[in-house]
Amino acid sequence: MCEFCGCRRIPEIARLGAEHDTIQEIAEDVLASAGKDITPVELLEKLRRAVEPHVLGEEAGVFTQARAVGISQNYWVDDLEDDHKRFAEILADPSALSWSEIESFLDDLHRHIAIEEYDLFPALVRTLSDDDWAAVERRATPEKH
């Protein structure tokens, strides 16, 4: 995650960024499994378990607030949500994936995370008020509130 705009000073962005780091580490493990005697299916299951709660919090929190303040169209929120749906479909049955499909998925996942971290999150940092961030956190982590 970039540190240029100060995103990490926002607790919700710091949480999402840490989740992105975990997701990318698992994705790297999947790539590292290529050509080895191990199957990437278990790693893809682990990736699914990391992605699912992340997506729920992201969509309920920052995506909802991006729409509320009117910047969602400028930062591809609909496209990012479409990616989330597609990723869920792909990860629903990892044993059905060919290696080229896995590589394509991981490329898309990397691109997706980059858009969030380098475009959407900095825009939100510039746009959202403290009250907006409090609303994001309440929606993204209802178990805490």
Distance CA 114, CA 99 (A): 23
In a domain, 65, yes or no: yes
- 89-114 pLDDT tens trace: 999 999 999 999 999 999 999 999 99
| Total number of domains in the chain | 1
Q: Domain range for residue 47?
A: 8-144
In a domain, 26, yes or no: yes
In a domain, 2, yes or no: no
In a domain, 74, yes or no: yes
Number of alpha carbons in the 13 Å side-chain half-sphere of residue 120: 30
pLDDT of residue 100: 93
In a domain, 3, yes or no: no
Show the low-confidence residues of the chain (pLDDT under 50): none
Q: Which residue has the tokens 């479909």?
A: 89
In a domain, 118, yes or no: yes
Q: What is the CATH classification number for the domain harbouring 128?
A: 1.20.120.520
In a domain, 28, yes or no: yes
In a domain, 129, yes or no: yes
Q: CA 80: distance to chain centroid?
A: 9
